[in-house]
């Protein structure tokens, strides 16, 4: 299950199981609940603080738990709304947030990284990618709103319609991430980035974020229904 560590004013949320380095950190419904519980714990703290989200091993997150999803297709709409709740939570999080992208960030996992204020990506390996076009999967109203409000239009065209895999240098050039760091310096770089911003944790910060991300948040608030989620036919 996901877990927390703390380095000074910075909370580090690990997406995978402690001691396990091969987890894909997919969005099982229970996993989503556990992440929200850790968000609650971080929010309950007092004083200057910031949040870094990362993982260990090959993956940051491989996105939707497709094994669970295709075994529970009758729950798909509620499940996707639950996924959206993570993005909504991060966009308006009441302290600075930094994603330390340690490995592959695919699909919903790429969107999780994109929901943070800032992103640092491992320089030597790993891709940020939206492979939905190859999987015959649509983007929800909320996912489309998140991506089109956080990334430039042409980056969205390339990422969403071609499934391009962005290594760190290309992700920096496309402003998908803010900077790259070598593997052994990734977490320290992200923690340092977050620590420098921890003093900005003030009551006005989430107000600013909600206004800044109003369009994305409005899209993420649209319930997913069979009318606005039509899987590609044949």
Whether the CB-CB separation of 59 and 104 falls below 8 Å is answered with: yes
Residue 39 and residue 42: Cα distance in Å, rounded?
5
Of residues 156, 1, 27, the one with CA closest to residue 86: 27
pTM, two decimals, is: 0.96
* pLDDT-derived band at 88, boundaries 50, 70, 90: very high
* pLDDT-derived band at 229, boundaries 50, 70, 90: confident
Arithmetic mean of pLDDT, 53-68? 96
Domains of the chain: 3-220 (3.90.226.10)
* pLDDT-derived band at 233, boundaries 50, 70, 90: very low
* pLDDT-derived band at 21, boundaries 50, 70, 90: confident
What does the pLDDT read at residue 230?
56
Residue 116 and residue 89: Cα distance in Å, rounded?
10
Calculate the alpha carbon distances from 103 to 95, 163, 216 in Å. Answer: 24, 17, 26
What does the pLDDT read at residue 234?
31
Residue 48 and residue 42: Cα distance in Å, rounded?
11
Which residues make Cβ contacts (< 8 Å) with residue 184, sequence separation at least 6? Answer: none
Residue 82 and residue 35: Cα distance in Å, rounded?
12
Arithmetic mean of pLDDT, 59-75? 96
For 91-125, what is each residue's pLDDT tens digit? 999 999 999 999 999 999 999 999 999 999 999 99
């Amino acid at each position: 299950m996901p877990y927390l560590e703390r380095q000074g004013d910075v909370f580090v949320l690990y997406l995978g199981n402690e001691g396990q380095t091969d987890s894909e950190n997919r969005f099982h419904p229970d996993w989503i609940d556990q992440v929200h519980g850790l968000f609650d714990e971080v929010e309950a703290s007092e004083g200057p603080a910031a949040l870094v989200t990362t993982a260990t091993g090959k993956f940051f997150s491989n996105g939707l738990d497709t094994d669970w999803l295709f075994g529970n297709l009758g729950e798909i709409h509620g499940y996707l709304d639950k996924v959206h709740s993570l993005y909504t939570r991060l966009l308006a999080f009441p302290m600075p947030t930094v994603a330390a992208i340690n490995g592959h960030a695919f699909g919903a996992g790429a969107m999780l990284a994109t929901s943070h204020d800032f992103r640092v990506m491992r320089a030597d390996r790993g891709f940020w990618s939206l492979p939905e076009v190859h999987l015959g999967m649509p983007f929800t109203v909320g996912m489309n709103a998140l991506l089109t409000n956080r990334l430039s239009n042409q980056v969205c065209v390339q990422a969403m319609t071609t499934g391009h895999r962005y290594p760190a240098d290309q992700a920096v050039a496309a402003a998908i991430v803010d900077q790259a760091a070598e593997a052994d310096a990734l977490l320290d770089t992200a923690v340092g980035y977050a620590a420098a911003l921890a003093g900005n944790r003030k009551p006005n910060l989430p107000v600013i974020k909600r206004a800044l991300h109003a369009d994305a948040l409005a899209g993420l608030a649209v319930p997913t229904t069979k009318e606005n989620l039509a899987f590609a036919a044949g």
